[in-house]
Amino acid sequence: MKYIQIGKTDLIVSRICFGCWQLSPKFWGNISLDEWNLALKKAMELGINFIDTADAYGDGFAETVLGNFLEKLGCRKNLIIATKFYWNFTDPQNRYPDTGYDYIIKECEASLKRLKTDYIDLYQIHAWDPLTKPDEVSAAMTLLKKQGKIRWVGVSNMNVHQMNMYLKYMDIECFQPLYNILDRDVEKQEFPFCLEKKIGVITYSSLARGLLTGKYKGNEKFQDSRANHPRFTGENFKKICISINNVLMPIAEKMDITVAELALRWILTHPAVTSAIVGIKKPEHIETVIRAADDILETRLWHSIASKMSSAYDK
Ligand SMILES: NC(=O)c1ccc[n+]([C@@H]2O[C@H](COP(=O)([O-])OP(=O)(O)OC[C@H]3O[C@@H](n4cnc5c(N)ncnc54)[C@H](OP(=O)(O)O)[C@@H]3O)[C@@H](O)[C@H]2O)c1
Protein backbone atom coordinates (compact mmCIF):
# COMPACT_ATOMS: atom_id res chain seq x y z
CA MET A 1 0.00 0.00 0.00
CA LYS A 2 1.18 3.52 -0.77
CA TYR A 3 0.62 6.35 1.72
CA ILE A 4 0.26 10.08 1.18
CA GLN A 5 -0.20 13.26 3.21
CA ILE A 6 -3.63 14.93 3.09
CA GLY A 7 -3.02 18.53 2.01
CA LYS A 8 -1.14 20.49 4.66
CA THR A 9 -2.22 18.20 7.54
CA ASP A 10 -0.15 15.70 9.51
CA LEU A 11 -2.46 12.89 8.35
CA ILE A 12 -0.63 10.22 6.36
CA VAL A 13 -3.27 8.03 4.73
CA SER A 14 -3.45 5.00 2.48
CA ARG A 15 -4.26 5.85 -1.14
CA ILE A 16 -7.27 3.56 -0.90
CA CYS A 17 -9.85 4.67 1.65
CA PHE A 18 -12.48 2.29 3.06
CA GLY A 19 -15.95 3.80 2.46
CA CYS A 20 -18.83 3.04 4.86
CA TRP A 21 -21.92 4.26 2.98
CA GLN A 22 -22.70 0.59 2.25
CA LEU A 23 -23.86 0.42 5.90
CA SER A 24 -26.90 2.47 4.94
CA PRO A 25 -29.77 -0.03 4.54
CA LYS A 26 -31.95 2.60 2.83
CA PHE A 27 -29.50 2.86 -0.07
CA TRP A 28 -27.72 -0.50 -0.12
CA GLY A 29 -30.12 -2.96 1.56
CA ASN A 30 -29.17 -5.02 4.61
CA ILE A 31 -25.63 -6.24 4.19
CA SER A 32 -23.95 -8.93 6.33
CA LEU A 33 -22.25 -7.27 9.31
CA ASP A 34 -20.02 -10.32 9.78
CA GLU A 35 -18.74 -9.91 6.23
CA TRP A 36 -18.36 -6.17 6.69
CA ASN A 37 -16.29 -6.64 9.88
CA LEU A 38 -14.12 -9.22 8.11
CA ALA A 39 -13.67 -6.80 5.21
CA LEU A 40 -12.44 -4.00 7.45
CA LYS A 41 -10.10 -6.40 9.25
CA LYS A 42 -8.76 -7.58 5.90
CA ALA A 43 -8.38 -3.98 4.71
CA MET A 44 -6.25 -3.18 7.76
CA GLU A 45 -4.12 -6.29 7.21
CA LEU A 46 -3.57 -5.11 3.64
CA GLY A 47 -2.39 -1.69 4.84
CA ILE A 48 -5.51 0.48 4.69
CA ASN A 49 -5.56 3.03 7.51
CA PHE A 50 -8.15 5.48 6.20
CA ILE A 51 -11.93 5.17 6.74
CA ASP A 52 -14.66 7.46 5.42
CA THR A 53 -18.11 7.52 6.97
CA ALA A 54 -20.90 10.00 7.79
CA ASP A 55 -23.38 10.49 10.60
CA ALA A 56 -26.18 10.21 8.02
CA TYR A 57 -25.15 6.77 6.68
CA GLY A 58 -28.02 4.73 8.09
CA ASP A 59 -28.86 7.64 10.41
CA GLY A 60 -26.01 6.84 12.80
CA PHE A 61 -25.87 3.11 12.01
CA ALA A 62 -22.59 3.20 10.03
CA GLU A 63 -20.79 5.16 12.76
CA THR A 64 -22.15 2.79 15.41
CA VAL A 65 -20.96 -0.32 13.56
CA LEU A 66 -17.56 1.27 12.98
CA GLY A 67 -17.36 2.34 16.64
CA ASN A 68 -18.07 -1.23 17.78
CA PHE A 69 -15.32 -2.48 15.47
CA LEU A 70 -12.82 0.08 16.82
CA GLU A 71 -13.65 -0.83 20.41
CA LYS A 72 -13.55 -4.59 19.86
CA LEU A 73 -10.21 -4.50 18.09
CA GLY A 74 -8.77 -1.62 20.14
CA CYS A 75 -7.40 -0.17 16.93
CA ARG A 76 -8.60 3.45 17.01
CA LYS A 77 -5.07 4.89 17.15
CA ASN A 78 -4.02 2.94 14.03
CA LEU A 79 -6.74 4.46 11.87
CA ILE A 80 -7.57 7.84 10.40
CA ILE A 81 -11.30 8.42 10.63
CA ALA A 82 -13.15 10.87 8.43
CA THR A 83 -16.82 11.49 9.10
CA LYS A 84 -19.38 14.10 8.03
CA PHE A 85 -22.38 16.10 9.19
CA TYR A 86 -25.07 18.06 7.31
CA TRP A 87 -28.29 16.04 7.31
CA ASN A 88 -30.29 16.67 10.45
CA PHE A 89 -32.00 13.30 10.91
CA THR A 90 -33.59 13.94 14.31
CA ASP A 91 -36.83 13.03 12.52
CA PRO A 92 -35.70 10.40 9.97
CA GLN A 93 -38.83 10.96 7.86
CA ASN A 94 -38.04 14.64 7.46
CA ARG A 95 -34.28 15.03 7.15
CA TYR A 96 -33.02 18.48 6.22
CA PRO A 97 -29.66 20.21 5.76
CA ASP A 98 -28.43 21.74 9.00
CA THR A 99 -25.02 23.31 9.52
CA GLY A 100 -26.11 25.66 12.28
CA TYR A 101 -23.74 26.24 15.21
CA ASP A 102 -25.78 24.35 17.81
CA TYR A 103 -26.42 21.40 15.50
CA ILE A 104 -22.72 21.00 14.62
CA ILE A 105 -21.68 21.00 18.29
CA LYS A 106 -24.42 18.53 19.23
CA GLU A 107 -23.92 16.26 16.23
CA CYS A 108 -20.14 16.08 16.68
CA GLU A 109 -20.71 14.87 20.24
CA ALA A 110 -23.17 12.26 18.91
CA SER A 111 -20.66 11.07 16.28
CA LEU A 112 -17.89 10.79 18.90
CA LYS A 113 -20.18 8.71 21.08
CA ARG A 114 -21.23 6.40 18.24
CA LEU A 115 -17.63 6.03 17.04
CA LYS A 116 -16.49 5.36 20.62
CA THR A 117 -13.62 7.78 20.26
CA ASP A 118 -12.70 11.17 21.68
CA TYR A 119 -11.47 12.70 18.42
CA ILE A 120 -12.33 12.76 14.72
CA ASP A 121 -9.35 13.12 12.38
CA LEU A 122 -11.21 14.78 9.52
CA TYR A 123 -14.61 16.39 10.10
CA GLN A 124 -16.33 17.08 6.78
CA ILE A 125 -19.25 19.31 5.85
CA HIS A 126 -21.23 16.89 3.67
CA ALA A 127 -22.56 19.56 1.27
CA TRP A 128 -23.20 23.27 0.90
CA ASP A 129 -25.97 24.66 3.10
CA PRO A 130 -27.33 27.89 1.60
CA LEU A 131 -29.18 28.86 4.78
CA THR A 132 -26.24 29.05 7.19
CA LYS A 133 -23.56 31.70 6.98
CA PRO A 134 -20.01 30.32 6.64
CA ASP A 135 -18.80 32.30 9.68
CA GLU A 136 -21.35 30.47 11.85
CA VAL A 137 -20.11 27.09 10.58
CA SER A 138 -16.53 28.21 11.10
CA ALA A 139 -17.22 29.30 14.69
CA ALA A 140 -18.45 25.79 15.55
CA MET A 141 -15.57 24.05 13.75
CA THR A 142 -13.02 26.33 15.42
CA LEU A 143 -14.40 25.53 18.87
CA LEU A 144 -14.40 21.78 18.17
CA LYS A 145 -10.79 22.00 16.96
CA LYS A 146 -9.79 23.96 20.07
CA GLN A 147 -11.43 21.31 22.26
CA GLY A 148 -9.49 18.59 20.40
CA LYS A 149 -12.70 16.88 19.30
CA ILE A 150 -11.85 17.27 15.63
CA ARG A 151 -8.38 17.54 14.14
CA TRP A 152 -8.92 18.88 10.60
CA VAL A 153 -11.80 20.25 8.51
CA GLY A 154 -12.95 18.91 5.14
CA VAL A 155 -15.79 19.65 2.71
CA SER A 156 -17.72 17.56 0.21
CA ASN A 157 -19.95 18.26 -2.81
CA MET A 158 -18.95 21.91 -3.20
CA ASN A 159 -17.74 24.17 -5.96
CA VAL A 160 -14.86 26.62 -5.89
CA HIS A 161 -17.09 29.55 -4.96
CA GLN A 162 -18.52 27.68 -1.97
CA MET A 163 -15.08 26.52 -0.80
CA ASN A 164 -13.86 30.11 -1.06
CA MET A 165 -16.76 31.28 1.10
CA TYR A 166 -15.58 28.97 3.91
CA LEU A 167 -11.91 29.77 3.34
CA LYS A 168 -12.59 33.38 4.34
CA TYR A 169 -13.18 32.12 7.89
CA MET A 170 -11.32 28.83 8.35
CA ASP A 171 -8.84 26.43 6.78
CA ILE A 172 -10.16 23.57 4.68
CA GLU A 173 -7.74 20.69 4.34
CA CYS A 174 -9.62 18.23 2.19
CA PHE A 175 -12.28 18.13 -0.54
CA GLN A 176 -14.46 15.07 -1.22
CA PRO A 177 -16.05 15.15 -4.70
CA LEU A 178 -17.71 12.65 -7.01
CA TYR A 179 -14.94 11.58 -9.39
CA ASN A 180 -14.27 8.58 -11.61
CA ILE A 181 -13.67 7.82 -15.31
CA LEU A 182 -17.34 8.58 -16.08
CA ASP A 183 -17.77 11.66 -13.85
CA ARG A 184 -15.02 14.19 -14.48
CA ASP A 185 -16.60 17.61 -13.89
CA VAL A 186 -14.26 18.56 -11.01
CA GLU A 187 -11.19 18.34 -13.28
CA LYS A 188 -12.05 21.77 -14.73
CA GLN A 189 -12.16 24.05 -11.70
CA GLU A 190 -12.09 22.25 -8.36
CA PHE A 191 -8.96 20.11 -8.98
CA PRO A 192 -6.77 23.06 -10.10
CA PHE A 193 -8.12 25.06 -7.14
CA CYS A 194 -7.23 22.27 -4.68
CA LEU A 195 -3.76 21.89 -6.19
CA GLU A 196 -3.16 25.62 -5.89
CA LYS A 197 -4.42 25.82 -2.29
CA LYS A 198 -2.79 22.50 -1.26
CA ILE A 199 -6.16 21.03 -0.32
CA GLY A 200 -6.26 17.22 -0.38
CA VAL A 201 -8.82 15.43 -2.57
CA ILE A 202 -10.53 12.16 -1.69
CA THR A 203 -12.84 10.89 -4.41
CA TYR A 204 -16.20 9.21 -3.86
CA SER A 205 -18.12 6.80 -6.07
CA SER A 206 -14.68 5.96 -7.41
CA LEU A 207 -16.11 2.81 -9.00
CA ALA A 208 -19.30 4.56 -10.18
CA ARG A 209 -21.27 2.51 -7.63
CA GLY A 210 -19.82 -0.74 -8.90
CA LEU A 211 -20.10 -0.10 -12.67
CA LEU A 212 -16.36 0.36 -13.10
CA THR A 213 -15.61 -3.13 -11.84
CA GLY A 214 -16.73 -4.57 -15.19
CA LYS A 215 -18.86 -7.15 -13.36
CA TYR A 216 -22.15 -6.20 -15.01
CA LYS A 217 -23.47 -7.18 -18.43
CA GLY A 218 -26.21 -4.57 -18.55
CA ASN A 219 -29.22 -6.81 -17.88
CA GLU A 220 -28.93 -7.07 -14.08
CA LYS A 221 -31.76 -5.90 -11.82
CA PHE A 222 -30.94 -4.15 -8.55
CA GLN A 223 -32.73 -4.35 -5.21
CA ASP A 224 -31.08 -1.22 -3.80
CA SER A 225 -30.93 2.49 -4.69
CA ARG A 226 -29.52 1.58 -8.10
CA ALA A 227 -32.91 0.08 -9.10
CA ASN A 228 -34.16 3.40 -10.51
CA HIS A 229 -30.82 4.99 -11.29
CA PRO A 230 -30.58 5.94 -15.01
CA ARG A 231 -27.08 4.48 -15.27
CA PHE A 232 -28.28 1.10 -14.04
CA THR A 233 -31.40 0.73 -16.15
CA GLY A 234 -32.40 0.32 -19.80
CA GLU A 235 -30.25 1.00 -22.86
CA ASN A 236 -28.00 3.39 -20.96
CA PHE A 237 -26.93 0.65 -18.58
CA LYS A 238 -26.17 -1.74 -21.46
CA LYS A 239 -24.20 0.93 -23.32
CA ILE A 240 -22.01 1.76 -20.34
CA CYS A 241 -21.35 -1.91 -19.60
CA ILE A 242 -20.32 -2.55 -23.20
CA SER A 243 -17.94 0.44 -23.10
CA ILE A 244 -16.36 -0.78 -19.89
CA ASN A 245 -15.96 -4.28 -21.24
CA ASN A 246 -14.53 -3.11 -24.56
CA VAL A 247 -12.22 -0.39 -23.28
CA LEU A 248 -11.16 -1.24 -19.75
CA MET A 249 -11.18 -5.03 -19.70
CA PRO A 250 -8.45 -5.64 -22.32
CA ILE A 251 -6.16 -3.04 -20.70
CA ALA A 252 -6.69 -4.50 -17.22
CA GLU A 253 -6.03 -8.01 -18.55
CA LYS A 254 -2.80 -6.88 -20.21
CA MET A 255 -1.68 -5.22 -16.95
CA ASP A 256 -2.76 -8.29 -14.94
CA ILE A 257 -4.95 -6.25 -12.61
CA THR A 258 -8.72 -6.18 -12.11
CA VAL A 259 -10.93 -3.68 -13.96
CA ALA A 260 -11.69 -2.08 -10.58
CA GLU A 261 -7.96 -1.67 -9.92
CA LEU A 262 -7.49 -0.06 -13.33
CA ALA A 263 -10.40 2.34 -12.69
CA LEU A 264 -8.94 3.34 -9.31
CA ARG A 265 -5.39 3.59 -10.67
CA TRP A 266 -6.78 5.97 -13.31
CA ILE A 267 -8.15 8.19 -10.49
CA LEU A 268 -4.98 7.99 -8.39
CA THR A 269 -2.89 9.08 -11.38
CA HIS A 270 -4.42 12.57 -11.30
CA PRO A 271 -1.99 14.82 -9.39
CA ALA A 272 -4.81 16.50 -7.44
CA VAL A 273 -6.03 13.21 -5.95
CA THR A 274 -4.90 12.09 -2.51
CA SER A 275 -6.95 8.90 -2.06
CA ALA A 276 -9.83 7.09 -3.73
CA ILE A 277 -12.69 6.00 -1.47
CA VAL A 278 -14.19 2.62 -2.31
CA GLY A 279 -17.52 1.41 -0.94
CA ILE A 280 -16.89 -2.00 0.60
CA LYS A 281 -19.31 -4.73 1.69
CA LYS A 282 -17.15 -7.87 1.89
CA PRO A 283 -13.51 -9.01 2.01
CA GLU A 284 -13.34 -9.83 -1.74
CA HIS A 285 -14.15 -6.20 -2.52
CA ILE A 286 -11.03 -4.98 -0.79
CA GLU A 287 -8.83 -7.85 -1.92
CA THR A 288 -9.57 -7.13 -5.57
CA VAL A 289 -8.87 -3.38 -5.47
CA ILE A 290 -5.78 -3.33 -3.29
CA ARG A 291 -3.17 -3.29 -6.08
CA ALA A 292 -4.66 -0.09 -7.55
CA ALA A 293 -2.31 1.97 -5.42
CA ASP A 294 0.86 0.08 -6.41
CA ASP A 295 1.59 2.36 -9.33
CA ILE A 296 0.16 5.16 -11.47
CA LEU A 297 -0.62 5.09 -15.20
CA GLU A 298 1.53 6.51 -17.97
CA THR A 299 0.18 9.89 -19.10
CA ARG A 300 -0.59 8.61 -22.60
CA LEU A 301 -2.57 5.65 -21.30
CA TRP A 302 -4.51 7.86 -18.84
CA HIS A 303 -5.65 10.15 -21.68
CA SER A 304 -6.38 7.29 -24.02
CA ILE A 305 -8.64 5.58 -21.43
CA ALA A 306 -10.42 8.88 -20.73
CA SER A 307 -11.12 9.66 -24.38
CA LYS A 308 -12.08 6.10 -25.36
CA MET A 309 -14.50 5.87 -22.44
CA SER A 310 -16.10 9.22 -23.17
CA SER A 311 -16.57 8.51 -26.87
CA ALA A 312 -17.82 4.97 -26.26
CA TYR A 313 -20.29 6.25 -23.69
CA ASP A 314 -21.55 9.19 -25.76
CA LYS A 315 -22.43 7.03 -28.77
N1 LIG B 1 -19.59 12.69 0.13
C2 LIG B 1 -20.61 12.12 -0.46
O3 LIG B 1 -21.64 12.76 -0.75
C4 LIG B 1 -20.54 10.67 -0.80
C5 LIG B 1 -21.45 10.11 -1.70
C6 LIG B 1 -21.33 8.76 -2.01
C7 LIG B 1 -20.32 8.01 -1.44
N8 LIG B 1 -19.44 8.57 -0.55
C9 LIG B 1 -18.35 7.78 0.07
O10 LIG B 1 -17.62 7.11 -0.94
C11 LIG B 1 -17.68 5.70 -0.76
C12 LIG B 1 -17.68 5.01 -2.11
O13 LIG B 1 -18.67 5.52 -2.98
P14 LIG B 1 -19.95 4.67 -3.46
O15 LIG B 1 -20.43 3.88 -2.35
O16 LIG B 1 -20.83 5.62 -4.13
O17 LIG B 1 -19.49 3.74 -4.60
P18 LIG B 1 -18.28 2.95 -5.24
O19 LIG B 1 -17.13 2.80 -4.35
O20 LIG B 1 -18.13 3.57 -6.56
O21 LIG B 1 -18.99 1.54 -5.44
C22 LIG B 1 -19.29 0.71 -4.36
C23 LIG B 1 -19.94 -0.57 -4.86
O24 LIG B 1 -19.09 -1.18 -5.82
C25 LIG B 1 -19.10 -2.58 -5.64
N26 LIG B 1 -17.70 -2.98 -5.37
C27 LIG B 1 -16.80 -2.38 -4.56
N28 LIG B 1 -15.61 -3.00 -4.66
C29 LIG B 1 -15.78 -3.99 -5.52
C30 LIG B 1 -14.90 -4.99 -6.05
N31 LIG B 1 -13.63 -5.06 -5.71
N32 LIG B 1 -15.40 -5.87 -6.95
C33 LIG B 1 -16.68 -5.79 -7.35
N34 LIG B 1 -17.55 -4.88 -6.88
C35 LIG B 1 -17.10 -4.00 -5.99
C36 LIG B 1 -20.07 -2.90 -4.54
O37 LIG B 1 -21.33 -3.04 -5.19
P38 LIG B 1 -22.26 -4.34 -5.13
O39 LIG B 1 -23.41 -3.91 -4.33
O40 LIG B 1 -22.63 -4.55 -6.56
O41 LIG B 1 -21.49 -5.45 -4.53
C42 LIG B 1 -20.10 -1.61 -3.75
O43 LIG B 1 -21.30 -1.44 -3.08
C44 LIG B 1 -18.90 5.48 0.12
O45 LIG B 1 -18.86 4.28 0.86
C46 LIG B 1 -18.83 6.70 1.03
O47 LIG B 1 -17.86 6.50 2.05
C48 LIG B 1 -19.54 9.89 -0.24
| Predicted pLDDT at 149 | 98
Q: Is the pLDDT of residue 185 over 90?
A: yes
57 is catalytic: yes
Q: Return the best residue to mutate from 95, 285, 287, 291 for the ligand 1 pocket (most ligand atoms within 8 A of CB).
A: 285
Q: Which listed residue (3, 57, 103, 123) is catalytic? A: 57
Asked if residue 99 belongs to a domain, the reply is yes
DSSP labels for 41-85?
HHHHHTT--EEE--TTTTTTHHHHHHHHHHHHHT-GGG-EEEEEE
- Taking CA atoms only, the protein residue closest to ligand 1 atom 16 is 205
| Predicted pLDDT at 44 | 98
Asked if residue 309 belongs to a domain, the reply is no
Q: How many folded domains does the chain comprise?
A: 1
Ligand 1 atom at minimum distance from 286 CA = 31
Contact 34/71 with Cβ under 8 angstroms?
no
Q: Is the pLDDT of residue 136 over 90?
A: yes
Q: Is the pLDDT of residue 314 over 60?
A: no
pLDDT for 245-283, tens place per residue?
999 999 999 999 999 999 999 999 999 999 999 999 999
The CATH number given to whatever domain includes residue 57 is: 3.20.20.100
Asked if residue 50 belongs to a domain, the reply is yes
Q: Is the pLDDT of residue 303 over 60?
A: yes
Asked if residue 126 belongs to a domain, the reply is yes
Q: Does ligand 1 lie within 6 Å of residue 125's CB atom?
A: no
| Predicted pLDDT at 312 | 67
Q: Is the pLDDT of residue 186 over 60?
A: yes
Rounded to two decimals, what is the model's pTM?
0.97
Q: Does ligand 1 lie within 6 Å of residue 182's CB atom?
A: no
Q: Regarding predicted confidence, which is higher, 49 or 311?
A: 49
- Taking CA atoms only, the protein residue closest to ligand 1 atom 38 is 210
- Measured distance CA(264)–CA(275) in Å, rounded: 9
| Predicted pLDDT at 311 | 76
Q: Is the pLDDT of residue 315 over 80?
A: no
Mean pLDDT computed over every residue of the chain: 96
- Taking CA atoms only, the protein residue closest to ligand 1 atom 1 is 156
* Average pLDDT, integer, range 45-68: 98
Residues spanned by the domain of 165: 3-213+258-296
Asked if residue 248 belongs to a domain, the reply is no
Q: Return the best residue to mutate from 281, 286, 290 for the ligand 1 pocket (most ligand atoms within 8 A of CB).
A: 281
Asked if residue 179 belongs to a domain, the reply is yes
Q: Does ligand 1 lie within 6 Å of residue 285's CB atom?
A: yes
Asked if residue 249 belongs to a domain, the reply is no
- Whole-number Å distance, alpha carbon 267 to ligand 1 midpoint, is 14
Q: Return the best residue to mutate from 17, 20, 22, 224 for the ligand 1 pocket (most ligand atoms within 8 A of CB).
A: 22
Asked if residue 238 belongs to a domain, the reply is no
Q: Give percent of the chain above pLDDT 70.
A: 99
Ligand 1 atom at minimum distance from 226 CA = 39
* Average pLDDT, integer, range 12-37: 96
Counting other chains too, the contacts that 117-121 makes at CB distance below 8 Å and 24 or more residues apart are: 117/67, 117/70, 117/76, 117/81, 118/148, 118/149, 119/148, 119/149, 119/150, 119/151, 120/81, 120/82, 120/83, 120/149, 120/150, 120/151, 121/11, 121/80, 121/81, 121/82, 121/150, 121/151, 121/152
